[in-house]
Amino acid sequence: DTGVSQDPRHKITKRGQNVTFRCDPISEHNRLYWYRQTLGQGPEFLTYFQNEAQLEKSRLLSDRFSAERPKGSFSTLEIQRTEQGDSAMYLCASSLGGGRALSPRNEQFFGPGTRLTVL
């Protein structure tokens, strides 16, 4: 396993269109996170899964955003009716952990990201 992968790496779309991104985490990792990063800023937390359960969703995530992790493996992030403000790098990360047995190092492994441009 070479790490977290994301597809596509780049996506250009027109305002109003729907887009879907895929993330494949490191195979044994039960936790999966989505972040959004704009130029000159740090990644912003969007949502988090433990196995197939979506446990937290940021208030940044409007109703146009939805994420799934149907079998506790890969995850998809869909943005409906895209807006120019959605243009950003969408990062996926995965880690080991569960309940109170948090990884001492709390290390999250990030994928290369999907760069979305909304015209």
Partner 1 sequence: GQSLEQPSEVTAVEGAIVQINCTYQTSGFYGLSWYQQHDGGAPTFLSYNGLDGLEETGRFSSFLSRSDSYGYLLLQELQMKDSASYFCAVSLNYGGATNKLIFGTGTLLAVQP
Give the three-class secondary structure for 102: coil
Nearest C-alpha neighbor of 92 from the set 1, 19, 29, 13: 29
Does 95 participate in binding partner 1 (rule CB under 8 A)?
A: yes
Nearest CB to partner 1, comparing residues 45 and 74: 45
Nearest CB to partner 1, comparing residues 14 and 106: 106
Does 67 participate in binding partner 1 (rule CB under 8 A)?
A: no
- Token pair of 111 as six digits: 């994928």
What is the pattern of x (binds partner 1, CB under 8 A) and - over residues 24-63? -------x-x-x----xxxxxx--x------xx-------
d(C-alpha 47, C-alpha 53), whole Å: 11
